[in-house]
C-alpha cells in the first residue's frame, strides 16, 4: 500500500488531496501546524490515517513527521509539499521580515521535507516528490512578485531534483494550479501592512480589500485531487501538471508571449559570441 505524507492539510487543496487519497484506501500522514485541524481526517480513517503536527520551518518537527511515517507505515512513498500561503505587495511595499518568512516556508520548507524523505527513497530506489507551485510563477501578476518568486524557486529546484533522482527510480514533479475555490485568497492570504498610493492602479487592485475573486474561483479542489492522484500513479508522471482551464490558458499565453519576444530580439541575442 502506498503511503503519502502531505503538508498543509488543514484547508484547501492540501485537505482535498488528503481526503481523496484516504478515500482510495491508501495511507496518509496528514499534517498541519495545528494538528487538531486535521485530526478528523485521521479519526475517520483509523487504519490508514495518521495526524501529525508539522511546521515545515521547524527541523525537529520535519524529522519527527518522517519518523512517524516510518514507524506507522514503514516509510513515505509520496511526499506532497503543499504547505504555504499567499503574500501580496508591490515590490517596494514588501516587508523584509514577511518576505523572509515567505521564503522560509515555501522554499526552505520544501527543501527541508524533501531532504528528510530522500535517504529512504534512495535506499528503496522508489518514491515520488510533488511540489506545489502556482500559475503565478508563470504570469507574475502585479502585487504577487514575491509569491511568484518563491514558486519559481520551487520549480527550478524541482527540475534539477528531477534530473538528479530519476536514475535512482525517484520522480519529482511540480503542480501549477490556477484559481481554486479554497480559502487561499481569504484566510491564507497575507499582504503588506502599508500600501503606497502610487501602486493603487497596479498592485493595489489585488489587495484583499479590493479583491472580488475570493469564493468565485473556477477550480474544484476535489477534481484537482483526483487529477493529482492520476498523475502520480501514471507510468510517466509529468515534470509539470497544470490544474485548471485558467492555468492552461495562462501558461500558453505566457509561453507564446515569451517566444515572440525571444524571436524579436534573437539577432541581438546571437551577436555576443566571439567571431571565429
Average pLDDT over residues 148-157: 98
Task: Judge whether 153 and 133 are in contact, CB under 8 Å.
Answer: no
208: pLDDT strictly greater than 80:
no
Cα–Cα distance list, 257 to 91, 136, 215, 243, 247 (Å): 23, 15, 30, 21, 15
Question: Annotated active-site positions, please?
Answer: 133, 147, 151
**Is 172 part of any domain?**
yes
Average pLDDT over residues 75-81: 98
Q: Which of 238, 18, 22, 232 is nearest to 126 (CA)?
A: 232
**Is 267 part of any domain?**
no
Q: What is the DSSP letter of 265?
A: T
Residue numbers of the domain that contains 184: 3-245
212: pLDDT strictly greater than 80:
no
Q: How many structural domains does the chain have?
A: 1
Average pLDDT over residues 21-32: 98
Q: Is the dihedral of CA 108, 149, 133, 203 positive or negative?
A: positive
Task: Judge whether 217 and 179 are in contact, CB under 8 Å.
Answer: yes
**Is 250 part of any domain?**
no
Question: In CATH, what number is assigned to the domain containing residue 126?
Answer: 3.40.50.720
Predicted local distance difference test score (pLDDT) of residue 185: 54
Choice between 241 and 179, residue whose per-residue pLDDT is larger:
241
**Is 263 part of any domain?**
no
183: pLDDT strictly greater than 70:
no
**Is 239 part of any domain?**
yes
Residues 6+ apart with CB under 8 A from 212: none
Task: Give the CB-side neighbour count of residue 268, counting CA atoms within 13 A.
Answer: 5
116: pLDDT strictly greater than 90:
yes
181: pLDDT strictly greater than 80:
no
Amino acid at each position: 500500500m502506498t503511503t503519502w505524507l502531505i503538508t498543509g492539510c488543514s484547508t484547501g487543496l492540501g485537505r482535498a488531496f488528503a481526503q481523496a487519497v484516504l478515500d482510495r484506501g491508501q495511507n496518509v500522514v496528514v499534517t498541519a501546524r495545528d494538528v487538531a485541524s486535521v485530526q478528523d481526517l485521521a479519526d475517520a480513517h483509523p487504519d490508514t490515517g495518521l495526524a501529525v503536527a508539522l511546521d515545515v520551518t521547524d527541523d525537529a518537527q520535519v524529522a519527527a513527521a518522517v519518523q512517524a511515517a516510518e514507524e506507522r507505515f514503514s516509510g513515505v512513498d509520496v511526499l506532497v509539499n503543499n504547505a504555504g500561503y499567499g503574500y501580496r505587495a508591490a515590490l517596494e511595499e514588501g516587508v523584509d521580515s514577511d518576505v523572509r518568512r515567505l521564503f522560509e516556508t515555501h522554499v526552505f520548507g520544501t527543501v527541508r521535507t524533501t531532504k528528510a524523505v530522500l535517504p529512504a527513497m534512495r535506499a528503496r530506489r522508489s518514491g515520488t516528490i510533488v511540489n506545489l507551485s502556482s500559475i503565478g510563477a508563470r504570469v507574475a501578476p502585479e502585487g504577487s512578485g514575491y509569491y511568484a518568486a518563491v514558486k519559481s524557486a520551487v520549480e527550478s529546484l524541482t527540475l534539477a531534483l528531477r534530473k538528479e533522482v530519476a536514475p535512482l527510480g525517484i520522480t519529482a514533479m511540480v503542480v501549477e494550479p490556477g484559481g481554486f475555490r479554497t480559502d487561499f485568497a481569504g484566510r491564507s492570504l497575507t499582504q503588506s501592512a502599508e500600501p503606497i498610493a502610487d501602486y493603487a492602479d497596479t498592485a493595489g487592485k489585488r489587495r484583499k480589500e479590493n479583491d472580488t475573486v475570493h469564493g468565485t474561483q473556477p477550480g474544484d479542489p476535489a477534481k484537482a485531487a483526483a487529477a493529482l492522484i492520476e498523475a502520480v500513479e501514471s507510468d510517466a508522471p509529468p515534470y509539470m501538471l497544470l490544474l485548471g482551464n485558467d492555468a492552461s490558458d495562462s501558461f500558453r499565453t505566457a509561453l507564446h508571449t515569451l517566444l515572440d519576444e525571444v524571436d524579436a530580439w534573437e539577432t541581438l541575442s546571437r551577436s555576443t559570441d566571439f567571431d571565429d
